[in-house]
């Protein structure tokens, strides 16, 4: 309980909750779209840069096994989400949306977990940002492959508008992946990144607070959509992250990750994408409703992980 209270009173959580309360209370608080885009770009580059600087300090042998188990997670989670969605009697296209959402990853959830670990003084492997990039794409491809089958569990599906190659291409050139890879490369090849630290490292916590405030406003606006989909929607958005966290915990044990690395991998496996997955679904699965998968990832799974999941994962591991 002390750990939960300590983490729930952290600045990122408090600013996020402030944004939610503002939206629910119909406050005139609003983060301008242009500023939100700028904050997003900054965070993506900064995360990649920090990951590249850490990656430069490790050998391929140290990262090979974590990369392998992360890839396996990316292939397994969308299949699990698809079949668990069937147990809750969701429609075929809703289950495809869940497969893409839970098969991909939430970058902001990763940032929240790493920030809390740093606040607690718990170290984690410097290459975890690389695992974020690896985990982003496989789930989207598996979801699309499920969608493109003419018969899936006896259900006929419409042929998809995209193929696996186009999903890989679009994912690699999406803003989130492209900027993180650019940051990774800069951090990896720059001999001395000291001049970059005042802007991309020292200012990072403050920029994160502003971003989470704006994200809280978005979540508050999405909350009104939840009753439309009923109790099973909430159960799926809160229980499946626990399944993902368990998968991440087992995989971290196989990869021999530290306590901090285990928490990060659990968090990644428990998160739901609200950037890469929606972009793929809108382009390739038009039958899936954006209000369904955006509300699921943004208004249910993300708050659950931020307020309950991450403290729980830390408590379990430590």
Q: Count Cβ atoms below 10 Å from residue 198 Cβ, excluding itself.
A: 9
Residue 255's pLDDT band, with cuts at 50, 70 and 90, is: very high
Q: What is the mean pLDDT of residues 209-223?
A: 91
Per-residue pLDDT at 65: 95
Per-residue pLDDT at 157: 45
Residue 149's pLDDT band, with cuts at 50, 70 and 90, is: low
pTM: 0.85
Domain 2-22+31-313 has CATH 1.20.1530.20: yes
Residue reference for tokens 């909430």? 234
Contact 213, 31 (CB under 8 A): yes
Q: What is the mean pLDDT of residues 248-270?
A: 97
Q: Where are the domains of the chain?
A: 2-22+31-313
> 96: which 2 tokens?
């495809």
Per-residue pLDDT at 164: 59
Q: What is the mean pLDDT of residues 167-176?
A: 71
Among the residue ranges 62-71, 109-118, 162-171, 266-275, the one predicted with the least confidence is 162-171
Contact 2, 200 (CB under 8 A): no
Per-residue pLDDT at 156: 46
Residue 153 in this model has a pLDDT that exceeds 70: no
3-state DSSP call for residue 31? coil
Q: What is the mean pLDDT of residues 217-228?
A: 90
Task: Report the alpha-carbon distance of residue 248 to residue 205 in Å, rounded.
Answer: 26
Residue 196 in this model has a pLDDT that exceeds 70: yes
Work out the widest C-alpha separation in the chain, in whole angstroms: 59
> 293: which 2 tokens?
């998968």
Residue 309 in this model has a pLDDT that exceeds 70: yes
Residue 305 in this model has a pLDDT that exceeds 60: yes
> 191: which 2 tokens?
């001999």
Residue 236 in this model has a pLDDT that exceeds 60: yes
Per-residue pLDDT at 7: 84
Could you tell me where the DSSP H helices lie in the chain?
Answer: 2-8, 11-24, 33-55, 60-87, 92-103, 107-120, 128-136, 138-148, 164-172, 175-189, 197-200, 204-222, 226-229, 231-255, 259-270, 276-284, 290-294, 302-304, 310-317
What DSSP state is assigned to residue 9?
T
What DSSP state is assigned to residue 223?
G
Per-residue pLDDT at 191: 62
Per-residue pLDDT at 265: 97
Proportion of the chain above pLDDT 90, given as a percent: 51
Per-residue pLDDT at 160: 47
Residue 171 in this model has a pLDDT that exceeds 70: no
> 34: which 2 tokens?
């242009």
3-state DSSP call for residue 91? coil
Residue 298 in this model has a pLDDT that exceeds 70: yes
Among the residue ranges 50-64, 93-107, 285-299, the one predicted with the least confidence is 50-64
Q: Residue 152: phi, psi to the nearest 5? A: -130, 105
- 7-60 pLDDT, tens digit per residue, is 888 889 999 999 999 999 999 998 898 998 899 889 888 888 888 887 887 888
More confident residue, 301 or 5: 301
Residue 158 in this model has a pLDDT that exceeds 90: no
Per-residue pLDDT at 279: 78
């Amino acid at each position: 309980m002390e750990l939960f209270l300590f983490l729930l009173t952290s600045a990122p959580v408090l600013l996020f909750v402030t944004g939610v309360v503002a939206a629910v209370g119909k406050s005139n608080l609003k983060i301008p779209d242009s500023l939100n885009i700028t904050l997003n770009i900054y965070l993506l580059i900064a995360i990649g840069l920090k990951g590249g600087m850490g990656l430069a300090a490790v050998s391929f042998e140290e990262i090979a096994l974590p990369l392998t188990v992360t890839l396996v997670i990316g292939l397994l989670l969308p299949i699990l989400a698809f079949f668990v969605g069937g147990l809750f009697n969701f429609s075929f296209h809703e289950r495809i949306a869940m497969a893409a959402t839970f098969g991909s990853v939430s970058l902001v959830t990763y940032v929240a977990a790493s920030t809390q670990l740093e606040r607690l003084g718990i170290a984690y492997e410097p290459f975890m940002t690389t695992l974020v990039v690896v985990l982003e794409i496989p789930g989207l491809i598996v979801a699309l492959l499920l969608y493109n089958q003419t018969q899936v569990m006896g259900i006929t599906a419409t042929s998809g508008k995209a193929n696996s190659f186009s999903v890989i291409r679009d994912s690699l050139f999406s803003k989130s992946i492209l900027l993180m890879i650019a940051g990774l490369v800069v951090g990896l090849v720059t001999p001395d990144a000291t001049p970059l630290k005042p802007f991309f490292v020292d200012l990072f916590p403050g920029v994160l607070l502003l971003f989470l405030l704006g994200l809280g406003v978005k979540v508050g606006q999405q909350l009104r959509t939840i009753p439309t989909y009923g109790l099973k929607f909430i159960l799926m958005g809160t229980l499946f992250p626990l399944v993902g966290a368990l998968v991440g915990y087992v995989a971290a044990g196989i990869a021999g990750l530290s306590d901090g690395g285990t928490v990060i991998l659990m968090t990644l496996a428990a998160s739901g994408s609200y950037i890469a997955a929606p972009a793929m679904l809108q382009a390739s699965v038009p039958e899936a409703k954006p209000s369904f998968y955006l509300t699921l990832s943004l208004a249910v799974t993300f708050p659950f992980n931020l307020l309950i999941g991450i403290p729980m994962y830390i408590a379990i591991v430590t």
